[in-house]
């Protein structure tokens, strides 16, 4: 009798463990069965740059790593740095549960795996908590692009005021020149001053001032560095500049018509020392007064969404008495900008 009860208990325990394993891990299904003819037609619309079945399998891989709490394996699917999400430096010497909550993990595991992308934006799990893409060139690589919902890194010193202030004035968003989506403003300067390494110029712009670029001023009404007090705009729609808005997060200027709104915004992220600033524009005649890494946001009102950059700018006192905002180094990802700043601080 005791033996029978013991065996029944053992069977119950074994069955419970089996059910726990089944429901704790993502189901491995045949991608060729899951992906439909509609998925394959949509792939053809995008010139078959990806295979729907491969997209599904990569989603399965991500979910399995999340199920296993494999933090290192998950970040091995990130080739450089995430567009949004933790830096690789931040996750060093951490375990999975220090970076992601159990709710985050459950949400990923319960989400459906797509066979098709969300248009040009790529593929997503859990309504965008994880975004991933396929790069067909040169070797055909699937990679994770963004991870939302992770523990946020705390940076020092923390900046609570988003505004760059000079005396009692706030520098407006239009003073911070960024590369246009067309690239025409940087190309104008590269062509005028004979700058051959265009890629280097777009990124490390500051070192070209005082060398190839021999003056601070516009070319055909196109500015790259802006003189403080001169960088004003007309209204987006009305012809009259809209008022500046300053809140806890951004300094913004917005204009709207009956259809949509346009806006330019920025916020300070991290300060640079004068020595660090000067090193990024070593040939510019003048003294760096202050410098910051800032986040700039341009809302165009279109379906493409916000255009966001993470750039370093310096406020320079020029030899002729003017003050100018000069772009120093430019990034499209905050993680890359933060890594650059860490290296810059180490070298100084």
Task: Kindly report, residue by residue over 270-313, the tens digit of the pLDDT.
Answer: 999 999 999 999 999 999 999 999 999 988 766 667 889 999 99
As separate numbers, helices (DSSP H) first and strands (DSSP E) second, the chain gives 12, 12
Low-confidence ranges of the chain (pLDDT < 70): 1-33, 232-241, 257, 301-304
Please give the Cα distance from 226 to 205 (Å, whole number).
14
Give per-residue pLDDT as tens, 55-81.
Answer: 999 999 999 999 999 999 999 999 999
Instruction: Look at residues 27, 51, 26, 21 and name the one whose alpha carbon lies nearest to residue 39.
Output: 51
Half-sphere exposure of 243 (CA within 13 A, CB side): 2
Instruction: Look at residues 175, 328, 341 and name the one whose alpha carbon lies nearest to residue 271.
Output: 341
The length of the chain, given as a count of residues: 348
How crowded is residue 122: how many other Cβ atoms within 10 Å of its Cβ?
Answer: 18
Cβ atoms of 249 and 314 within 8 Å: the answer is: no
């Amino acid at each position: 009798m005791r033996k029978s009860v013991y065996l029944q208990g053992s069977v119950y325990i074994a069955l419970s463990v089996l059910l726990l394993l089944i429901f704790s891990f993502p189901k491995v299904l045949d991608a060729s069965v899951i992906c439909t003819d509609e998925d394959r037609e949509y792939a053809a619309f995008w010139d078959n740059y990806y295979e729907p079945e491969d997209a599904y399998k990569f989603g399965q891989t991500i979910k399995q790593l999340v199920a296993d709490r494999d933090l290192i394996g998950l970040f091995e699917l990130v080739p450089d740095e995430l567009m949004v999400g933790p830096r690789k430096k931040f996750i060093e010497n951490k375990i999975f549960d220090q970076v992601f909550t159990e709710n985050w993990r459950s949400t990923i595991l319960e989400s459906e795996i797509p066979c098709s992308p969300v248009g040009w934006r790529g593929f997503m799990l859990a309504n965008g908590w994880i975004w991933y893409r396929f790069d067909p060139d040169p070797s055909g690589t699937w990679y994770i692009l963004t991870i939302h919902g992770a523990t946020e890194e705390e940076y020092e010193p923390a900046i609570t005021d988003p505004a760059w202030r000079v005396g009692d004035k706030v520098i407006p968003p239009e003073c911070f020149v960024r590369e246009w989506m067309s690239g025409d403003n940087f190309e104008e300067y590269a062509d005028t001053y004979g700058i051959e390494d265009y890629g280097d110029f777009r990124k490390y712009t500051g070192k070209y001032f005082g060398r190839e670029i021999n003056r601070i001023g516009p070319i055909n009404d196109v500015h790259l560095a802006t003189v403080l007090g001169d960088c004003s705009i007309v209204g987006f729609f009305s012809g009259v500049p809209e008022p500046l808005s300053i809140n806890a997060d951004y300094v913004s200027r917005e204009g709207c018509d009956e259809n949509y709104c346009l806006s330019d915004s920025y916020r300070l992220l991290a300060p640079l020392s004068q020595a660090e600033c000067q090193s990024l524009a070593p040939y510019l005649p003048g003294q760096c007064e202050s410098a910051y890494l800032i986040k700039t946001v341009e809302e165009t009102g279109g379906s493409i969404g916000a255009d966001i950059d993470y750039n370093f700018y310096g406020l320079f006192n020029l030899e002729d008495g003017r003050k100018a905002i000069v772009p120093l180094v430019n990034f499209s990802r905050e993680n890359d900008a933060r890594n650059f700043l860490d290296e810059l601080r180490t070298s100084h």
